[in-house]
Amino acid sequence: MKTLGIILVGLIMGTNESPIGKNVGRWQAQGKDITENVKNGVGTISVPWDQDHALTKKEALAKLDQLWDQLSADQKKSREGAYAAAKRFVQGVTNADGMSPKELSPTGKKSFYDEEPSGGEMQIRIDVEIQSGKAFAADATQGKDVGTITATWADDIQLKKEKVKAEYKTSVGWNQNDPPDRTKGKALLDELGKEISGDNTVADKDGKIKKFDKDLPKKLDKENKEAFKALIDEAKKWIQGSCPAVGMNNPPGTNKKKVFQDKSGKRKITIEVTSGIAFPQ
């Protein structure tokens, strides 16, 4: 059985130059409204990194800002949501040593849009690509309260004439010096919902993107989004009312993880505290 991954990547971003350093990648703005480096009617502006140490969150956000500064006012207006989503993604990475290409996505690339794209709108976006090494490593001021909220889905589905194994995973997180309160927890779940609502692209194991928005049946895409919305609502109610008053992981090692799943058991949302405390009253 062929395995497919459901990811947030739109299109492969072009031919990469050979990496020189141990940790290589780039931010990229892409779209028909960009006149630089035009290929097949689509222009790109890139800000790369190539260094011996893993790209830290602070460095990644600085390079994202460098990319943003190169865009015109109209180009920025079309990507405000994508820019904000990219920043949230970097800030939410909780692996202290950073993220590898495969941990980012099966293709090592991830795209951010203002809203769920269709047609030509899929080209107007901000991309990040990790070519080698690690990126988004913790800065020197790593917070003591760290955790993630992750949405996962795995199922065998029928695509046209073949049956495939579909897999999906996306997450948001916190990394701070004070325990996130319950309002913050619910806000993180809302962020997760936004990530899920824009994701319905199918890619094969080699990262070759198939027809955008076409391969995942609309009925199944709708079922996924409705099921995850219900799980998010359930998780928000739990944080507000049923989470222990002292918070998760207090004392350490207790209530570290909470899993919410639908009746099929194929769709799950997992809240996990890596260190510190989360959501005390």
- Tell me, what's the pLDDT at 254? 85
On the question of pLDDT at 268 being above 50, the answer is yes
- Tell me, what's the pLDDT at 201? 42
Neighbours of 77 (CB within 10 A): 11
d(CA 236, CA 243): 10
- Tell me, what's the pLDDT at 197? 66
On the question of pLDDT at 77 being above 70, the answer is yes
Residues 6+ apart with CB under 8 A from 150: 169, 170, 171, 269, 270, 272
Within its chain, how far is the Cα of 255 from the centroid?
A: 25
- Tokens 């028909």 appear where? 32
- Tell me, what's the pLDDT at 64? 95
What is the residue extent of each domain of the chain?
2-137, 145-275
Report residue 65 as tokens: 């800002």
N-terminal to C-terminal alpha carbon distance within the chain: 48
Beta strands in 96-223 (DSSP E): 109-112, 125-132, 135-137, 145-159, 162-176, 201-204
Give mean pLDDT, residues 227-250: 94
pTM: 0.55
Give mean pLDDT, residues 236-241: 95
- Tell me, what's the pLDDT at 122? 57
Q: φ, ψ for residue 72 (rounded to 5)?
A: -75, 170
Better-predicted residue by pLDDT, 218 or 184: 184
Position 253 confidence tier, pLDDT thresholds 50, 70, 90: confident
On the question of pLDDT at 84 being above 70, the answer is yes
Position 46 confidence tier, pLDDT thresholds 50, 70, 90: very high
Q: What is the pLDDT of residues 181-207, one digit of tens each?
A: 999 999 999 988 887 765 444 444 443
- Tell me, what's the pLDDT at 124? 86
- Tell me, what's the pLDDT at 108? 92
Q: What is the pLDDT of residues 86-97, one digit of tens each?
A: 998 998 888 888
Task: Starting at the earlier edge strand, list the strands of the sheet with 23-31.
Answer: 43-51, 23-31, 125-132, 109-112
Give mean pLDDT, residues 161-183: 82
d(CA 118, CA 108): 23
